Amino acid sequence: MTDANADADTPIAVVGTDTGVGKTVVTAGLTRWLREEGFEARAVKPAQTGHPPDDDAGFVAEACEDDDAAICPRYLEPPLAPRVAAEETGETLTYESILAACHQAIDATPVPLLEGIGGLRVPLAGDSEVIDLVADCSAAAIVVTRSGLGTLNHTALSVEALRRRGVPVRSIVCNEYEGATVAERTNPAELERLTGVPVETVPRLSGSDPRRLAEGVRDAFSPAFRDRLSAGEF
């Protein structure tokens, strides 16, 4: 099964199968490359938990060497799902406020990238989850996943959930790919067979400099993937 192309006005949602799979570094690589190609791209992080020290929007901005390259409308201190973090601190967090802030940022940005929070079913606010926000922003998804054993099930379920919500899935990115095991070597082709979605691989990158990490992600993208982005086939 293949998904219909999204046009250049469609936000790109960089979502993950779990927390810690590499959404932020992939978002940084995408945003930096698009800006280098002349697109007015900006990343939108709907809410940041674990702040400080975690600051995904700050990471993307530093990777692009431009404070305007990323925005986050809401920060919460506990390193928990946003809904739970707000409850723990007694803060008010509504889905309507998050959605409105995202719509405002998306409308003001020619090429917006919406970075997810953890996995798709992470509680965001009220009864709404990350997947609800992706669908309500009319985004097309790039799914970031792990490269090793177990990723087939997690990724296929994530793609299925997105499609059930009417979200087109444009690409899958296997992050920290080394090809050191049979599972890693066979997973990209098997994911394409299972989902019908093109798969990119990004190698394990060393260091902590956001600029260098974003460049590493950018350089790992295949020519076909870059061509689709350049053509506005998001």
* Residues designated catalytic: 45
Known binding residue 16? Answer is: no
Known binding residue 24? Answer is: yes
Known binding residue 175? Answer is: yes
Residues 6 or more apart whose Cβ sits within 8 Å of residue 4: 168
Name residue 54's amino acid: D
Residues 6 or more apart whose Cβ sits within 8 Å of residue 10: 138, 139, 140, 234
Known binding residue 21? Answer is: yes
CA dist 105 and 103 (Å) reads 5
Known binding residue 203? Answer is: yes
Q: Where is 6: in which H helix or E strand?
A: none
CA dist 155 and 161 (Å) reads 10
Known binding residue 22? Answer is: yes
Q: Where is 70: in which H helix or E strand?
A: strand 70-71
Known binding residue 66? Answer is: no
| Rounded CA Rg of the chain | 16
Known binding residue 133? Answer is: no
Residue with tokens 């053509």: 231
Known binding residue 164? Answer is: no
CA-closest candidate to residue 195, choices 222, 162, 220: 162
Known binding residue 25? Answer is: yes
CA dist 149 and 184 (Å) reads 7
Known binding residue 187? Answer is: no
Q: Residues within the annotated binding site for Mg(2+)? A: 24, 56, 115
Q: Which residues are annotated as a binding site?
A: 20-25, 49, 56, 115-118, 175-176, 203-205
Please state the residue numbers annotated as binding site for ATP.
20-25, 56, 115-118, 175-176, 203-205
Show binding-site residues for substrate: 49
